[in-house]
Amino acid sequence: MKLPLLLLIASSLSAFAEAKKPNFLFVLTDDQRWDAIAAVQKEQGEKARFPWLETPALDRLKSQGAIFRNSFVTTSLCSPGRASLLTGQYAHTHGVSNNHTPLPADSVTYASVLKANGYHTGYIGKWHMGTQPERPGFDFSASFQGQGKFFDCPVTIRKDGEVRQVIEPKWVDDASADHAIGFLRENKDRPFLLTVGFKSVHGPREPHADLKDKYAGEKANPVPNLKSPAPFRPEGVNDTRNSAPGNPKMLDYFRTLTSADRSFGRILDELDALGLDKNTIVIFTSDNGYYLGEHGLGDKRSAYDESLRVPLLIRSPFHKITGRDITPHVLNIDLAPTIVDLAGIDLPASFQGRSLRPLLEDQPPTGWRESFLYEYFYERNFRNPTVLGLRSTKGKIITYPGNPRWNQLFENEKDPYELTNHYDNPEKAELRLELEGELEKLKRETGFKVPSTADPDEFGKEKPTRKRKRDPEP
C-alpha cells in the first residue's frame, strides 16, 4: 500500500506545482500610439490631442495594473516589431527586417520556451510576417495570413494536428475575441499562454458597424510639431491627409481602436468570469507607434517619439502594481524575457532584452538601461531612409547612413515635440559626442549588422519615373 500512497502524493504535488504556474494573456494591437488610451488623454488635460477618445477596457486594465510610461520599440515596423516581441531580439539579430520576411521556424521564442516547460500555447489573430502559414512555438492557432480583412476574413485554425480554414462572418477582431474566449474555456484547468494579435488599428481602418459614426464632428487638437518637417520629407507638412484635424480617416483610426477595445473587454470579462484573473498575468502593448501628421508624417518607420513609443500595460495578481507608474526605459525586446522569467524558467541566451520582473517588484537593479538602439532598414517602394539612432535619458540622436546632412539631435525632456535640432549646434557638441559614443557602443554590444534580408539602400537614388508607395492615410 505504500507505493500507491507515494504515487498519490507525488501526483498531488505535481498538480499543485502546475496550478502555481502563472497563466499569460498577451494582447497586442497594430499601429497604436502610446497616447491612444482614453485614460492617458484625460491625464494630459488641455494638452490632450484626442480628449474625446473612449477606451474603457484599456482604462480598466490601466487602473488594475501598471502603466510603463517610457515603453519603446527597437524597430517601428509591423513584422520586425512582432518578431522582436516573440524572440526578445533586435531586428538585426532575428533577421525579420521588413514586412515580407517570415520568422524562422526554429526561432527561440517565449512561446517555444513555455511550450517546452509544460504550457499549452495559443496564437490568435494577426501574425503578419510575410505570408507565413506556421505559428512556430504555438500548439493552437486561429490566425490569418498577412494583413487579413476586417470583414469576411479567411482564418486558418490549427488544432491537435488538424488544419482547416473558415471565413469569419463577423468583424475580424470580434472573431479573434471569440477564439480567445474559446481557448480560455478549454484551457482554464492547465497552465496556458495565449497571444492575441488584433488587426486594429492598421489600415484600411474599418470599424465595427456599431461604431462607424462614433466621434462624428470631433477634431484632433493641434500639436507644435505638425509644421516641423522631417528632413527626408519636407513636403509632408503640406499633406492634408495627415494633418487635417477633422479628417474622416483619422477619426476612423480611433473608431477602429474603440471597436478593438470592446473586443478586448470581452476577453477580460471572460477571464474574470472563469476566475482566471487570480492567476493570469495580462500584458497589453502594440507593435509600433504611429504618426498622425507630426513632422508632416503618417505611418511609422522613422525615429521620432510618436513612432517609437507604444502603450504597455501589465496586470498581475502576483505583484502589487495596481495604479503604478513605471518610468524606466523599457523595450519591446523585454517582453519575451519577462514572460519566461515570470513563468519561473531560465532565460535563453539568445534573448537580448531584459526581464521587467524587477521593475514589477519595485526593485530596479543597479545599471538599468539609460539608452537604447533604434534601427530601421530601407524598404523598396517606401519613402523612408535607413535610420540608426539612440534614445537616452539625456537626449536622442538620429542618423541617416548615406545622408548625414539629415542627422538630428534632440533634448527630449526639454523638447518633447522634437522641434529643435542641435546636431550642428557647437553648444551641444559634448552631448552629441556622448550620444554618438553610446550609439557605437550599443552597436558593438548588440552585434549590429545590416541583415541579409534587408533591401539594398537606394533612398534618393530611384529613377524619376519609378512609382513609390505613399504614406498610408491616418
* pLDDT of the residue at 69: 97
389 beta partners: 374, 398
* pLDDT of the residue at 217: 93
* pLDDT of the residue at 460: 55
Detail the DSSP E strand segments found in 333-435: 371-376, 387-392, 396-399, 408-410
The sign of the dihedral angle between the CA atoms of 325, 328, 332, 333 is negative
* pLDDT of the residue at 237: 85
* Domains with residue ranges and CATH for the chain: 19-360 (3.40.720.10), 371-445 (3.30.1120)
Taking 50 as the pLDDT cut, the residues of the chain under it are 1-3, 5-18, 462-468, 473
My answer on whether omega of the bond before 204 falls inside 30° of 0, hence cis, is yes
The stretches of 142-229 forming alpha helices (DSSP H) are 172-187
Total Cβ atoms within 10 A of residue 253? 27
b/e map of 138-149 (b: 16 or more CB within 10 Å)? bbbbbbbbebbe
At residue 235, the 3 state secondary structure works out as helix
Contact 283, 236 (CB under 8 A): no
Q: Could you give the C-alpha distances from 37 to 49, 311, 380, in angstroms and in order?
A: 11, 8, 33
CA-based end-to-end distance of the chain: 71
At residue 238, the 3 state secondary structure works out as helix
124 beta partners: 142, 196
- Rg (alpha carbons) of the chain, rounded to whole number: 22
* Residue 474 identity (one-letter amino acid): P
Give every CB contact of residue 46 below 8 A, 6+ residues apart in sequence: none
b/e map of 448-463 (b: 16 or more CB within 10 Å)? bebbebbbebebeeee
List, for residues 319-331, the tens digit of each pLDDT value: 999 999 999 999 9
Its pTM stands at 0.93
**What is the C-alpha separation between 355 and 336, in angstroms, rounded?**
8
Grid coordinates given for 243:
494633418
Contact 86, 336 (CB under 8 A): yes
b/e map of 154-183 (b: 16 or more CB within 10 Å)? ebbebeeeeeeeeebeebbbebbbbbbbeb
